[in-house]
Structure 1
Amino acid sequence: MITQNDAIPQAADQTASQEQLLSNLRALATRNPSLVERLCWPVNNSHILTDPVSGKTLYQFHAQHLELDISDELLQATSEGLPDHQDIFLFACGLGEQLADIVKKFPDRHVTVWERDPWLLRLALSRYDFNAAIQDERITFLLGIDLLEAVKKIRKSPVISHPILQAVYAPEWWFVQEENAVSPPFAAVAAGELFVDDIIDSLPEFGYSPWLLDFRRLSLEELEYSIEKLKPDFVFSTNYQNGLAEFCHKHNLPLLCWEVDPHLDDLRVKGEAARVLSYFSYNKANLARLSRSSFNTTRYLPLATNPERRFPEQAKTEAAFPVAFVGSSMVQQVAEARQNFLSLYERTASAQEQRVWPGDTLLQAICEDQARDFTRFLIPDSLQTRVPHFYQNNQQQGTLNAVMLIGEIMAAEKRLTYLNSLSDIGVHVWGDPGWTANITEGVHWHGYAGHRNELNSIYSSAAINIDISRLYQMEIIPMRVFDILACKGFLITEYSDELASHFLIGVELETYKTIGELREKVRYYLANPERRQDIASQGYRAVRERHTIRQRLQVIFDAARIQQ
């Protein structure tokens, strides 16, 4: 079974000075009381962590944990070569060390500093004494949406960017760099996982300037403040967040939602809020369930690729890796899903069911059932057979879906089992450190794959790319499929009828149904490079002609009657 790596980042230890924060806020209140009020609004800080080994501050960015602390050497390099007698713009405040360094080195210069994250700005104000510089009006702080009004003036100043957060804040960096980026109409894009970047890249082609808003981390007050300043034509969200439709309805904004990932909780829309929502799902099986939850306008829309981001990279060597897989070990998801299931079962199962089937015993039995056959999704029947009342109640009114929680646990087990089965052939894996505790000899872990050209290079240079479907969504076509083909990579993925309706099997990609068939086809195509190269070329042509994100957005805008 999946085991967890011990060196997992912990919640940040708040050792910064509360007195220093209050001192800076008092000074700032004399210059910008509105900003002080916004900094006092509630904010989610769960993404700021501490490395348990080094003690350094980490920023959770997608599946990665980025070190925020800037070394002295890097700090020195970022402020070198600045022209004399000009104001300075610092893009992303981070923990504040760059700002403190600039204020110290250039005491006669005015610095404008912007930060997306209210919590990080609070941390900076609690670590460094900016009191005098604030009082003397040598620092102007900008938070979030403030960048929009200030960006034209900022472009006239020398720009220093935070060496780590510039990539994290790529959408706002685009606003700073692009001359026409601040022109309306605007679209508010809900922050989320990697797919969001592709939506942001594509929206300008339809005439919209995208602005990222983090509906999960920002306070309701900051969100409403931002919407008032931005005045977007609509809100676009990849995956739905409960409460988002109600927020958009309150502000009379159309909400376009494209579901691109599985969700483990119960999605709901209240009353009239459903009228502003146009919902598109990559999973046909979800549409009927969503319509029962007051999602009135739902449509099927498969995933796609962004050819501006995913394209062939020249391989350094011919077939640099025999077999490659890029993806999460799911170790953290397994731990969370297990804890959530056991807690859910303890709270909602009857006393009789818990006497017969204690939570740990039940979970182990269901997992053992599923592990005997990964070609079928057995968890629903296995759970219903053992605890029928718990199953029925959960499916009808549960806020967390018990089947999906166990499905997440066994999806990770399936992924590990399939990759380890190829260890004698040689598999190269990219993803989080959770892989190290679970892979066998012959499976080689390379760390995280960069999400830009590095990922393209992996897909392009591998002789064979592998995809393994999640147990509970074996009919969907994952984004990985489209991205591999867009990089002209050869792909062997798990067969589904939905896949066969969008691609020519054996012509544009290859498929398998069992571990045995996967092993057989891996060996065959390693021995037949010309055959796999021909299929890779056909797959590349297919995604560029039929499966781009721009084409999917066209479907969304046409269906939702959004002006372009």
Structure 2
Amino acid sequence: MITKTDIRILVVNPYSYINEDIVVALKSMYGDDHIEEIKHVFKDAGIYEDEDFAKSLKKKIEDMRCDVVISTNFFPIVATACNECAVPYIAWTYDTPMNVVPCEQMRYETNYIFLFDRMEMEKYRQMGYNRFWYMPLGVNTKKYERFKASQKYCHDIAFMGKMYKSKLPMIRHGLSEGMLQYLDKLADTQYKIFGKYIIEDMITDPIIDEINREHAAIGYDLIISKQQLAYAMSEYVTYLDRMGLLEMMGRRFQTHLYTYDIDDNDKAFLKDVKIHGPVNYDTEMPILFKSAKISLSGSMRAARSAIPLRALDILGCGGFLLSSVQPELEEYFKDREEVVLFRSIEEAIDLAGYYLSHEDERIKIAQAGLNRVKKDFKYTDRLNKMIEQVLR
């Protein structure tokens, strides 16, 4: 039986934001000689089949006499290789919904798939996939300690992230007035509700059948699934969230947006917001969150309950987090003591105004949030629990 002292781990690195933190944590737990890494860019169908990569991965597993393979996010091709080599595969997601749709490779007994969204994990379990567990993300606070605040980023309000350009307009093309009204009403209902994801439950099979029938009737070569429509609508509502929040913040406070996907129309709408290009995740983001008085975080609407990685980034840098409410944020953090959560855009504006004018409270909350993630969100603790599940 494998023991923790002699375990040999292969990390499949898909160039994710958190991969380096995982490798650093594993080496601190087991020593450099017990951890090896293979890098690969997964593209399109290559996440399912890639003969050359599969061959090199299996050779690596055999050559190092690997006991466990770990990757961020789940890759069916890695699952297949591990299953064929009879080696446990830990896949820890940091995207929600998952980066792949349900597939047979998820059923391998060698899989240990950990989702950071508890409600999504429960959804897969209810669908009959029993190789799923729940594990929140971690944060490496130590690597942020060397960074200092800078006047360059000393903003009242800062937001760093995607604006989410939805493919919903493509889906809406050619649909009947009645169907368009239904989609509009669904988007509007979700937009008004923070902390609960309703879109997927409201999209029925007859709705999907009707959309595909209407497309076919006009010769429009597009067939969609329930998952694709739900994701497109979630992206659209997330876009509305972020545009609405930033526009209202910009009218009242010194607000800065750091993003890479914004067009001229959106820039005109956000005329009171100072818009910048993206910042480097490793070298500039920590300075931004240490410098800004308030850092915004808003969950992608398809995230059912999870704590977003960006929220942990902010807290791990010692920043003040103002976030849309999420069930797991409420579970793990004390609202108004370690984080500040809003349930509407109007409430977010009020809270921002209050904490900008109450510096002592703001600093106290930011420090308490940092202390919480230092104590309860260590990568070593997260990885230890996942590996313990494998060794049982």
Q: TM-score range by the shorter chain?
A: 0.7 to 0.9
In structure 1, the residue matched to 2:94 is 260
Residue 379 (str. 1) matches residue 379 (str. 2): no
The alignment status of 1:188 with 2:19, answered yes or no, reads no
Cα distance, 1:428 vs. partner? 0.8
- In structure 1, list runs of 5 or more residues that go unmatched: 1-182, 347-353, 392-396
Question: Contact 1:188–1:236 (CA<8 Å) still a contact in 2?
Answer: yes
Distance 1:249-1:366 versus aligned 2 partners, 3 A rule: farther
Structure-2 residue corresponding to 1:205: 28
Task: Write the distance in 2 (CA, Å) between the matches of 1:426 and 1:435.
Answer: 21
1:551 to 2:387 alignment: no
CA contact (8 A) 2:139 2:312 kept: yes
Give the secondary-structure state (helix, strand or coil) at the position aligned to 1:365: helix
Structure 1 partner of 2:111: 277
> What aligned pairs does 1:28-67 form with structure 2 within 5 A after superposition?
none
Q: Distance in 2 between matches of 1:314 and 1:325?
A: 19
Determine the structure 2 residue equivalent to 1:236.
Answer: 70
Cα distance 1:514–1:507, how it changes in 2: closer, same or farther (>3 A)?
Answer: same
After the TM superposition, which of the residue ranges 427-436 and 452-461 deviates more from structure 2? 427-436
Q: How far apart, in 2, do the equivalents of 1:545 and 1:288 lie?
A: 26
Cα distance in structure 1, aligned partners of 2:329 and 2:28: 28
Q: In 2, are the aligned partners of 1:235 and 1:254 still within 8 Å (CA)? A: yes
Q: Report the AA paired with residue 379 of structure 1.
A: I
Distance in 1 (CA, whole Å) between partners of 2:191 and 2:164 is: 20
The normalised TM-score by structure 1 is 0.58
Tell me how far 1:215 sits from its aligned partner: 6.4
Q: What does 1:284-299 correspond to in 2, within 5 Å?
A: 284-299=118-133
Contact 2:342 2:348 in 1 (8 A): yes
TM-superposed CA distance for 1:250, in Å, is: 1.2
Deviation at residue 300 of structure 1 after TM alignment: 1.5
Shift of 1:364: 5.5
The one-letter code sitting in structure 1 at the alignment partner of 2:16 is: E
Partner of 2:58: 227
Preserved CA contact (<8 Å) 1:369 1:378: no
Instruction: Return the alpha-carbon distance in structure 1 between the equivalents of residues 205 and 85 of structure 2.
Output: 46
**Contact conserved, 2:93 with 2:114, CA < 8 A, in 1?**
yes
- Identify the residue that residue 216 of structure 1 maps to in structure 2: 42
CA distance in 2, matches of 1:380, 1:294: 18
Relative contact order, higher structure (CA 8 A, sep 6+): 2
Code of the residue aligned with 1:242 in structure 2: it is P
Q: Is the 8 A contact 1:436 1:445 kept in 2?
A: no
Higher mean C-alpha displacement, 295-304 vs 262-271:
262-271
Structure-1 residue corresponding to 2:262 = 434
Residue in structure 2 matched with residue 91 of structure 1 by the alignment? none
Counterpart for residue 465 of structure 1: 295
Q: Which residue of 1 aligns with 2:356?
A: 526
| 1:317 alignment partner, one of 138, 145, 151 | 151
Equivalent position SS for 2:262: helix
Which structure has the larger Rg?
1
Report SS of the residue matched to 1:466.
strand
Q: Show the 5 A alignment for 1:371-450.
A: 373-375=192-194, 377-380=197-200, 383-384=203-204, 387=207, 398=225, 400-424=227-251, 425-434=253-262, 437-439=265-267, 440-450=270-280
Checking the alignment, whether the CA contact within 8 Å between 2:190 and 2:197 is kept in structure 1 is no
2:3 is aligned to: none
| Change in CA separation of 1:258 and 1:371 when aligned onto 2, cut-off 3 Å | closer
Work out the CA distance in 1 between the residues paired with 2:347 and 2:117.
26
Give the 3-state SS of the residue equivalent to 2:95 in structure 1. Answer: coil
Give the distance between the partners of 1:537 and 1:383, measured in 2 at CA. 42
Whole-Å Cα distance in 2 between the matches of residues 241 and 289 of structure 1? Answer: 19
Q: Which amino acid aligns with 2:18?
A: F
TM-score by length of 2: 0.81
Distance across 2 between alignment mates of 1:224 and 1:381: 41
| Cα drift, residue 519 of structure 1 | 0.5
What do the CA deviations read for 1:377-416 (whole angstroms, capped 9, x no partner)?
Answer: 453465449827569xxxxx95844222321222122122
Contact 1:312/1:456 (<8 A) preserved: no
The alpha-carbon deviation at position 251 of structure 1 amounts to: 2.0
| Alpha-carbon offset, residue 201 of structure 1 | 2.5
Matches within 5 A, 1:303-382: 303-311=137-145, 313-317=147-151, 320-331=154-165, 334-335=166-167, 339=170, 341=171, 361=180, 365-366=184-185, 369-370=188-189, 373-375=192-194, 377-380=197-200
Give the 3-state SS of the residue equivalent to 1:244 in structure 2: helix
The alignment's C-alpha RMSD in Å is 3.2
Quote the Cα distance in structure 2 between the aligned partners of 1:399 and 1:252. Answer: 34
Q: Distance in 2 between matches of 1:234 and 1:515?
A: 45
The equivalent of 1:95 in structure 2 is: none
Distance in 2, matches of 1:210 and 1:436, equals 45
In the TM superposition, residue 308 of structure 1 has moved relative to its aligned partner by 3.4
The one-letter amino acid paired with 2:321 is L
Counterpart for residue 90 of structure 1: none
Tell me by how many angstroms 1:490 deviates: 0.9
Given that 1:311 and 1:486 are in contact with CA atoms closer than 8 Å, whether structure 2 keeps it comes out as: no
* Aligned counterparts of 1:421 and 1:321: Cα–Cα separation in 2: 16
The offset of 1:372, in angstroms, is 5.6
Counterparts of 1:82-97 in structure 2, within 5 Å, are none
Query: Matches of 1:369 and 1:435 in 2, distance apart?
Result: 23
2:9/2:69 contact within 8 Å kept: no
